[in-house]
Chains A and B, each alone.
Chain A
């Protein structure tokens, strides 16, 4: 700014000096009115034509161009916004579907699990029942065997002792008396065992 002022000062001084100096050779051509009218005339013509052509032809075109671009850009932004919204919607839907399917999968899993557990329980119960029955049968058999074994032993003992006696003395002994003796003996044995 300061530099410009200095330069302009210098120039004005110079111009003043020059005007004075050049006054002898006709002065400033700007102040010579010889061609003033001609300049005004041509200024009006050229500027007038420029103004009319710019106003009527060129500026509306440029303004149209700018307007179409503006509206096009706005339109594009609008469509972009719309598409963004749509994609957001789609994403939401997708997430919902995933969430739903996850929940479904979980419920399926739970159902299957319960079913299997039920099955297992049922089978186990049936098995338990079977086992119990079998055990009962075996136990019964066992107790039968136990009960029968005493008698059988007694019978065998009586028979063997009868045979023995027969062999020893060659005389047949009443089997019922032998059985009574065996029974007594086994009772004594039992008592001994119990004691």
Chain B
């Protein structure tokens, strides 16, 4: 059973079955790792924000560097108008990053390797960005689908393409993160299985590959969190500034 590389993505109930009406909202291993990630973020950043020394210590430096990193990312991609959404994008980036990173611990569960989690996040961003766009520009937000400088003949085609690309945003955003995490973890599991099956004679090659993959996966874990956050910023930029 454990040799199945997909087994690691199984969700199972921890503790008793909790039902809200007829809906099952039991506490699962996925919930456990969501709680662990959130708590880790809160503890680290709370400790980092607690001390108010002029010369920061390590944790303070970490939290302040993350703060300025996200702040710079937002101001670079979405401009100064996106400042009110800073805390959301910061939470989003940190949540996805910590979920990805906790998934790198052996035997840990990767929250972001589930399409439903990433899709809920992406759908929330999509709906939020759309609402912000209509609130800022009214029906003028629909100009987003009509790029300037396109000949009239091509316009119907372009508008259709733009609408499809806009509507596929939540899908691409969620599938990108989910597929990257799932693929990476599956691959590592597969190579880990090779180590066992090839034994002490031939197991060294997949083992070294596994080690290298761990490094790659940590990079991917950071990169996907960054991509997730920066794409959110870009969508937000479209909604706030509307120059396509």
* A interface, CB within 8 angstroms of B: 4, 7-8, 10-12, 14-15, 18-19, 22, 25, 27-32, 34-44, 46-47, 49-51, 53-55, 57-59, 61-66, 68-69, 72
- Contact in complex: B117, A39 (CB < 8 Å): yes
- Contact in complex: A53, B42 (CB < 8 Å): yes
Instruction: Report the interface size for chain B: residues with CB under 8 A from the other chain.
Output: 58
Distance between Cα atoms of A63 and B94 in the complex (Å): 16
Distance between Cα atoms of A42 and B33 in the complex (Å): 10
Asked if B80 is an interface residue, CB under 8 A from chain A, the answer is: no
Task: Tell me which of A32, A35, A50, A62 contacts B24 (CB under 8 A).
Answer: A35
Chain A residues whose CB sits within 8 angstroms of the CB of B95 once the complex forms: 47, 50
Distance between Cα atoms of A69 and B30 in the complex (Å): 40
Chain B residues whose CB sits within 8 angstroms of the CB of A49 once the complex forms: 38
Smallest Cβ distance from B216 to chain A, in angstroms?
8
Smallest Cβ distance from B34 to chain A, in angstroms?
4
Smallest Cβ distance from A33 to chain B, in angstroms?
8
Asked whether A46 and B25 contact (CB < 8 A) given A65-B64, A69-B54, the answer is no
* B interface, CB within 8 angstroms of A: 4-7, 9-11, 13, 20, 23-28, 30-31, 34-35, 37-38, 41-42, 45-46, 48-50, 52, 54, 60, 63-64, 67-68, 86-88, 90-91, 94-95, 111, 113-117, 120-121, 178, 182-184, 186-187, 190, 216
- Contact in complex: A57, B46 (CB < 8 Å): yes
Distance between Cα atoms of A22 and B7 in the complex (Å): 10
Chain A residues whose CB sits within 8 angstroms of the CB of B4 once the complex forms: 22, 25
Chain B residues whose CB sits within 8 angstroms of the CB of A11 once the complex forms: 183-184, 186-187
Quick one: closest B residue to A76, CB to CB? B54
List 23 A-B pairs, Cβ < 8 Å. Answer: A11-B187, A14-B190, A28-B9, A29-B6, A30-B114, A30-B115, A30-B116, A30-B178, A30-B182, A31-B115, A35-B11, A35-B26, A35-B30, A39-B28, A41-B20, A47-B38, A47-B121, A51-B88, A54-B91, A59-B49, A59-B67, A61-B49, A68-B52
> DSSP majority for the A interface?
helix
Asked whether A66 and B186 contact (CB < 8 A) given A38-B25, A46-B38, the answer is no
Q: Give the residue among A7, A8, A40, A46 with the most B Cβ atoms within 10 A.
A: A46
Distance between Cα atoms of A7 and B209 in the complex (Å): 12
Quick one: closest A residue to B51, CB to CB? A65
Quick one: closest A residue to B20, CB to CB? A41
Quick one: closest A residue to B36, CB to CB? A46
Chain A residues whose CB sits within 8 angstroms of the CB of B13 once the complex forms: 35
Smallest Cβ distance from B135 to chain A, in angstroms?
20
Asked whether A66 and B183 contact (CB < 8 A) given A28-B9, A37-B25, A50-B91, the answer is no
Q: Give the residue among B7, B37, B48, B116 with the most A Cβ atoms within 10 A.
A: B116
Smallest Cβ distance from A184 to chain B, in angstroms?
130
Quick one: closest B residue to A51, CB to CB? B91
Known contacts A39-B30, A49-B38, then 18 further A-B pairs from the complex at CB < 8 Å, ordered by chain A residue: A10-B187, A15-B182, A18-B186, A30-B113, A30-B182, A31-B115, A34-B24, A39-B11, A39-B116, A39-B117, A46-B31, A54-B45, A54-B90, A55-B91, A57-B46, A58-B42, A58-B46, A65-B49
- Contact in complex: A50, B121 (CB < 8 Å): no
- Contact in complex: B35, A29 (CB < 8 Å): no
Smallest Cβ distance from B126 to chain A, in angstroms?
15
- Contact in complex: A38, B31 (CB < 8 Å): yes
- Contact in complex: A54, B64 (CB < 8 Å): no
Quick one: closest B residue to A12, CB to CB? B183
- Contact in complex: B87, A54 (CB < 8 Å): yes
